[in-house]
Amino acid sequence: MKFIIATIKPFKLEEVREALTAIGVRGMMVSEVKGFGAQSGHTEIYRGAEYAVNFVPKVKLEIAVTDSMSEQVVSTIAQTAQTDKIGDGKIFVLDLESALRVRTGETNEDAL
């Protein structure tokens, strides 16, 4: 299993969620975060406002997936979240050691 952590522009959340649901993703975590990337000292437009500060609002997605779905999930997020402007975000893929569905006791892929 893989654990995918992605940051996207907040206005892209609904479109990304729909695209992921369409390819069979059944659960995810979503949080509002702030961050910066390579342009940390520069400005980035967010909803028309210029942030001359280091931290820009982003949405973080965390998704546990089977190995076989991992690449498709990454490419779907990448295609859907892309605006071609700076700050489109990043996607990290980690090995996931185990998963447990608390209600049933199912483990690993059965728990996703």
Ligand X SMILES: Nc1ncnc2c1ncn2[C@@H]1O[C@H](COP(=O)(O)OP(=O)(O)O)[C@@H](O)[C@H]1O
Residues within the interface to ligand X (CB under 6 A): 7, 33, 35-39, 56, 58, 86-90
Report DSSP state, residue 18: H
Side-chain half-sphere CA neighbours of 49 within 13 A: 6
For ligand X, the closer CB: 91 or 111: 91
Q: Which stretch binds Mg ion (CB under 5 A): 2-10, 38-46, 68-76, 99-107?
A: 38-46
Binder of Mg ion out of 31, 39, 75, 79 (CB under 5 A): 39
Phi and psi at 86, nearest 5°, equal -60, 150
Number of residues engaging Mg ion in binding (CB under 5 A): 5
Q: Which stretch binds Mg ion (CB under 5 A): 23-31, 46-54, 81-89, 94-102?
A: 81-89
Region of 54 (left: φ > 0; alpha: ψ -120 to 50; beta: rest) is alpha
Q: How far is CA 95 from CA 23, 26, 70, in A?
A: 21, 19, 10
* Residue numbers at the binding site for Mg ion (CB under 5 A): 37-39, 86-87
